[in-house]
A and B are shown apart, each in its own frame.
Chain A
Amino acid sequence: MTLELSRLRKAYSRFDFGPVDLTVDDEVLAVLGPSGSGKTTLLSLIAGITGPDSGSILLGERELVGSPLEDRHVGMVFQEGALFPHMTARENIEYAATADERADELATLLELAGVLDRKPPTLSGGERQRVALARTLVTDPDVLLLDEPLSSLDAPIRKRLRDELHGLFESLDIPILYVTHDQRTAMALGDRIAIVRDGDLEQVGSPSTVLTRPTSRFVARFTGTENLFRGTVIDRTADGATVRLGDLRLQTTASDVSTSTVTVCIHPSRVAIEAPYTAGGDRTATTVTGTVVRWLNEGSEYRIDIETESGSITLTANVRPPTFERLALENDSEVQLRIPRESIHLIPERE
């Protein structure tokens, strides 16, 4: 079934949502954005908790706008689970269930057997979310909405439940909207990602597109691209544009840039660090020489700031610990950076 929002709009006293156009097929759409950007409003509108000022929400052939939330067949998993505190986990699920077999099946699937007779206040955050999920899925919804279900959980449990959700979502053939402010969760769970900013959809695309081809500085920053510089296009060929950045000249594969002022956008994970003056390597990559000015151990990777030779810009690179150790990097180390041409992304700037 397809969920189709058109020109959906809702005005609040201090915030305007929309107009939003969005189509979600039987897929997982991760809705990513900072708090207060309108992610929850989007879900509330689809669920029917709030009514829009204008616009339509089509689910298959059915118009949802104007129909009360109990008639929508839209399942919603709330932030903290919203379990009924006076009912046990089992009673919560059975309250929603139309058929008991499905309740049992879901309890098994979500590994709830041990906690069914306990009341929500005695459940852990992860257990609560699993019960909430079972309670929603037992109604066999036509759409599944999840509002930051993992945000209140500790890191290890969050990661585990995220993996479980991934498997579960694949078995559901319905549109799923998953709201989160965590980029990693969005990348891991979303077939596509929608970036929300100030009540509007800033960009909708596959995780890799959003990550490497952001359409705005906002999206780039929000998805973890720290290397954002203002540059000038100095040459355009069929192979791509050449851009000037300080005293650097970078050859890119970007061929559809209309403006001459651009934001040069390079994700730190695409910047490779090599020992100085390594010969050979990827001929289509741009090489830049510079000095390490700062480095930070972030656990699974190192974050390294490199100042280019002339000192005009500072690039950030992420490297895995083995690379870091092999190169014996420290402050003032001279290094050579290799950036694949296709990883140098240009965002047009309004002049």
Chain B
Amino acid sequence: MGTFGFDWLSVALVLGGVLLLYYVVPMVSLFLSVPTGEILGRMTDPTVVDSARTSLLSASISTVVATLFGLPLAYWLARTDGAVTKVVLAVVVLPLVLPPTVGGIVLLTVFGPGSPLGEAAIAAGIELTRSLVGVVLAQTFVASPFVVVTAKAAFQSVDRTLEYASRSLGKSRWTTARHVTLPLAGPGILAGVTLAFARAIGEFGATMMLAYYPRTMPVQIWVAFIELGLDNAYPVAILLVLIAATALVVLNTVASNPWE
């Protein structure tokens, strides 16, 4: 066996290498598939600019909403254990494992035009679907678990003794959270926020179901691809790749990369 033995290390390296190429080659190929000048020209196309504006705006709002609602929950999850905590965590993770289109359907049953909530909102002059609100609802649903799960880990990494120490010095819970817990959990929370933003900006499935208009970048890619062919989908795709790359840079610099 030994004489004809495989060099397992080489095999492992080849396998890993092939996988890496599988990631990198399509990216490079995307940038090479259209001449740079032409891409820059199409970037100023109103549909591209509009979708970029919609996406950036909605993803920003979704991220803020997710952070606002997610941090207290993350803190609670980090500082409690027991059966209830496990159930709550499972609920939080649910949107992560649910297929986004199913997420969209679930949301439609609550916010759709036919639902009581949807009707009430329309009566009040707010459209919960086919509107920026709809986009935000869809994005928040799929992206907020990233804030909760990542921030939970970040809070857990802060030694409770430090909080007790702060409070034993006469500082309130709020002062302690602001000056001790949040700064120490900061990089981890920022990682969660970045991941949520990246997920929100790439959201397609649930958004399609809830708000086809106004078009976000992923929806615009889909429309351009269906109506005008692959070439026309490139500019927005490249924009999205650049945004994703920026998120990676943030993760590897100011934030603490949860996957490292």
Contacts and interface: CB of A to CB of B under 8 A. Distances in A.
Interface of A: 47-49, 68-76, 78, 82-86, 95-96, 135-136, 139
Interface stretch (B36-44, B127-135, B141-149, B157-165): B157-165
A130 B86 CA distance: 41
B180 A69 contact: no
A214 B234 CA distance: 85
Given A70-B172, A78-B161, A84 B180 contact: yes
Q: Looking at chain B, what size class is its interface with the partner chain? A: 10 to 19
Nearest to A145: B168
Nearest to A47: B168
Contact of A75 (B164, B168, B172): B168
Interface in B159-180: 159, 161-162, 164-173, 179-180
Contacts of B183: 86
A83 B162 CA distance: 7
Contacts of B179: 84, 95
A82 B164 contact: yes
A74 B164 CA distance: 12
Interface of B: 159, 161-162, 164-173, 179-180, 183-184
A47 B171 CA distance: 14
Contacts of A136: 168-169
Contacts of A70: 167-173
Q: Which of B167, B180, B184 has the most CB of A within 10 A?
A: B167
Contacts, number: 56
Contact of B170 (A73, A85, A86): A73
A82 B159 contact: yes
A82 B169 contact: no
A74 B168 contact: yes
A96 B169 CA distance: 6
Given A95-B169, A95-B179, A84 B164 contact: no
**7 closest A-B pairs (Cβ-Cβ)?**
A82-B165, A96-B169, A70-B167, A76-B168, A82-B161, A69-B167, A49-B164
B168 A68 contact: no
B237 to A, nearest CB: 40
B169 A85 contact: no
A328 to B, nearest CB: 54
B221 to A, nearest CB: 42
Contacts of B180: 84
Contacts of B164: 47, 49, 69, 76, 78, 82
Nearest to B164: A49
17 contacts: A69-B164, A70-B167, A70-B168, A70-B169, A75-B168, A76-B168, A82-B161, A82-B162, A84-B166, A84-B180, A84-B184, A85-B184, A86-B184, A95-B166, A95-B169, A135-B169, A136-B168
Nearest to A68: B167
B101 to A, nearest CB: 43
Nearest to A98: B170
A96 B165 CA distance: 10
A327 B171 CA distance: 63
B159 to A, nearest CB: 7
B165 A76 contact: yes
A40 to B, nearest CB: 11
A331 to B, nearest CB: 51
Contacts of A48: 168
A48 B162 CA distance: 14
Contacts of A139: 169-170
